[in-house]
Amino acid sequence: MLRMFLALAAGSLFGAGLMFSGMTDTTKVQGFLDIFGNWDPTLAFVMGGALLPMGLAWRLTEGRKPAAGGSFPSPPSAELDRRLALGSVLFGIGWGLVGLCPGPAMASLSYNSWQGALFLAAMACGMIAAPAVSRHLDRGAASA
């Protein structure tokens, strides 16, 4: 029950933050990526604001256990593989095309009209197809 409540609270903060920060406005997101156009720095402030509490949270994990039990994520891997690179390229192209990434696509569902719902549905299909794409990439890597 505590896990559910904390997840709901975290999601609520995340959703409210995305809404207030302007990150569900595709003009601002595309404006940040459009460095050769009328550049909009808002996304940098959002990222900076988010990194502060998150950086502090990582420091607080040292020598502690999660409040709702279990354990903290293991230290990050330093391995850079083709899945990370290729997946990020595909994601970046899609992100640039419309200006929505997974968080804002969900947060704006209630006010993003049919366009947001269509994007979210296509994104869900992509997520369902992704494991097959990953396996294909891994096979390619093994035979290369």
CA dist list (Å): 120 to 33, 79, 98, 128: 21, 30, 12, 12
Least distance between another protein and beta carbon 135 (Å)? 10
Q: Which residues in the 70-99 window bind another protein by CB under 8 A? A: 70-73, 76-80, 83-99
Helix, strand, coil percentages (3-state) for the chain, rounded to 5, are 70, 0, 30
CB-nearer residue toward another protein: 73 or 143: 73
The answer to the question of residue 13 lying near another protein (CB under 8 A) is yes
Q: State the number of binding residues for another protein (CB under 8 A).
A: 118
Sign of the CA dihedral running 114, 20, 56, 9: negative
Question: Could you say which residues in the range 29-68 bind another protein, by CB under 8 A?
Answer: 30, 33-37, 40-58, 60-61, 64-68
Q: In terms of residues, how long is the chain? A: 144
Residues near 138 by beta carbon (within 8 Å), at least 6 away in sequence: 83
Question: Please, which residue, 2 or 143, has the CB nearer to another protein?
Answer: 2
Residue type, 100: L
Question: Out of 63, 131, 143, 144, which residue is the one contacting another protein (CB under 8 A)?
Answer: 131
Q: Is 141 in the site for another protein (CB under 8 A)?
A: no
